[in-house]
Amino acid sequence: MDYFLTEQQQMIVDIARQLTDEKIIPHRAELDEQHQFPREILKQMAQADLFGVPIPEAYGGFGGGCLDIALTVEQFGRGCIGVGTAFAANFLGVYPIIIAGSEAMKEKYLPDVATGKKFGAFGLTEANAGSDASGIQTTAVLDGDHWVLNGTKQWITNGGEAQIYAVVAITDRSRGPRGASILVVEEGDPGFSCGPKEKKMGIRASSTTELIFKDCRIPADRLVGRQGTGFITVMKTLDLSRPGIGALGVGLAQGALDEAARYAKQRQQFGKPIIAFQAVQHMLADMAIGVESARALVYAAARHIDAHPKEMSKVSAMCKAYATDVAMKVATDAVQVMGGYGYMCEYPVEKMMRDAKILQIYEGTNQIQRNVIGQELNKEYS
């Protein structure tokens, strides 16, 4: 379908597609099997200027919006959402700086992010603060001209690989949600370390670790925005990034459909290719409907967010939940179409099915997304 992309957007798609076909797909099985972080591929992405897509032009980027980044990660997702997650989570760590950072902070970090020299991560989740972010235990206390951080973040994407960590910490427990702030911790800061890499069901190319702060001292100017605005920035960050997760889902679903359809044309049973059987055709048709409708919603939501940055929560949640549910369904059906072969590790669809599950869980579970949508509806109809 024609989504009326601009010339620059079409260029982004072309580059991301070529990179996915030539640099990601040939290596995805190995990265998955060896739980290997795709440093070489990220270097190629940097060389192709793709890290600069959402960075404002003033800081060496291309000033792209939510749609531009969605187009990029959709392609990566078609190849491997482990790799796509590493790329996308980088911006999760950088969005707070773009949204709320001071001019000096932007100048310090963004040009290096745009060229891929520095890589980001977002430290929100903790053992007792998942869907309920208000349970955060990590604290930051001002001591002279330094903040002192203590606490442990859990399941942080790009942990151990990033140089810039946007960490959510409580700076004033008495103020409840208004007592949280975001601080930038850099790789090598005293008292900051990362735990061992977690073993995961899927997206094994991405790195997931704990972030451990033991009297971690960082300069006072690492505070992002004003003290106590942490949660607002977190919400804006997630609203901005969720269409990207939806786009990863669209990409994964497209990749699974491609595999299943190609296989169904080639696989012969009862004397004809199995795509000739209506049972298979209908499954493929439903998969195709899912992919296209998810894509349409993600692109529409991303365009809406780019045009109306103040009212993005509902559309952002909708496209994330829908596209990732589609991804799970399509990946599962792709395995079914391919039967025993689909279940074998020689074909990529079993990995896609394992990978797809995380899309429904991270960046707010799809249940939480529905809460957000429900609350918005409640407001709209009041």
Q: Which residues are catalytic?
A: 363
Q: Does 6 bind another protein (CB under 8 A)?
A: no
Nearer to another protein, 41 or 169 (CB): 41
Q: How far is the CB of 250 from another protein (least distance, A)?
A: 21
Q: How far apart are CA 41 and CA 359, in angstroms?
A: 21
Q: Does 224 bind another protein (CB under 8 A)?
A: no
Nearer to another protein, 226 or 272 (CB): 272
Q: Cβ neighbours of residue 267 under 8 Å, at least 6 residues apart?
A: 273, 274, 338, 341
Which of 321, 347, 349, 353 lies at the binding interface for another protein (CB under 8 A)? 347
Q: Which tokens is 161 given?
A: 């690989």
Q: How far apart are CA 39 and CA 58, in angstroms?
A: 27
Which of 2, 4, 5, 22 lies at the binding interface for another protein (CB under 8 A)? 22
Sequential DSSP letters for 129-169: BSS-GGG---EEEEETTEEEEEEEEEEEETTTT-SEEEEEE
Q: How far is the CB of 280 from another protein (least distance, A)?
A: 18
Q: Stretches 40-48, 104-112, 303-311, 351-359: which one binds another protein (CB under 8 A)? A: 40-48
Q: How far apart are CA 329 and CA 324, in angstroms?
A: 9
Which of 3, 5, 29, 56 lies at the binding interface for another protein (CB under 8 A)? 29
| Amino acid present at 16 | A
Give which of 352, 176, 171, 320 is closest to 254, Cα–Cα: 352
Q: How far apart are CA 13 and CA 75, in angstroms?
A: 7
Q: How far is the CB of 346 from another protein (least distance, A)?
A: 5
Give which of 192, 230, 184 is closest to 211, Cα–Cα: 192
Q: Does 15 bind another protein (CB under 8 A)?
A: yes
Which of 38, 52, 179, 251 lies at the binding interface for another protein (CB under 8 A)? 52
Which of 3, 5, 36, 62 lies at the binding interface for another protein (CB under 8 A)? 62
Q: How far is the CB of 251 from another protein (least distance, A)?
A: 17
Which of 27, 222, 304, 320 lies at the binding interface for another protein (CB under 8 A)? 27
User: Interface residues for another protein in 246-305 (CB under 8 A)?
Assistant: 266
Q: Does 49 bind another protein (CB under 8 A)?
A: yes
Q: Which tokens is 314 given?
A: 């509902």
Judged on CB neighbours under 10 Å (0-12, 13-18, 19+), 159 is: buried
| Chain centroid, CA 55 distance in Å | 16
Give which of 18, 13, 34 is closest to 199, Cα–Cα: 34
Nearer to another protein, 266 or 375 (CB): 266
Give which of 248, 264, 242 is closest to 326, Cα–Cα: 248
Give which of 52, 59, 82 is closest to 356, Cα–Cα: 82
Q: Stretches 11-19, 79-87, 238-246, 283-291: which one binds another protein (CB under 8 A)? A: 11-19
C-alpha distances out from residue 337 to 44, 266, 285, 289, 354, Å: 34, 12, 12, 16, 16
How many residues touch another protein under the rule CB under 8 A: the total is 27
Q: Does 23 bind another protein (CB under 8 A)?
A: yes
Which of 31, 38, 42, 48 lies at the binding interface for another protein (CB under 8 A)? 48
Q: Does 339 bind another protein (CB under 8 A)?
A: no
Q: Does 47 bind another protein (CB under 8 A)?
A: yes
Nearer to another protein, 53 or 317 (CB): 53
Which of 32, 37, 42, 50 lies at the binding interface for another protein (CB under 8 A)? 50
Judged on CB neighbours under 10 Å (0-12, 13-18, 19+), 14 is: exposed
Q: Stretches 163-171, 228-236, 314-322, 343-351: which one binds another protein (CB under 8 A)? A: 343-351
Q: Which residues bind another protein (CB under 8 A)?
A: 7-8, 11-12, 14-15, 18-19, 22-23, 26-27, 29-30, 44, 47-50, 52-53, 62, 266, 344-347
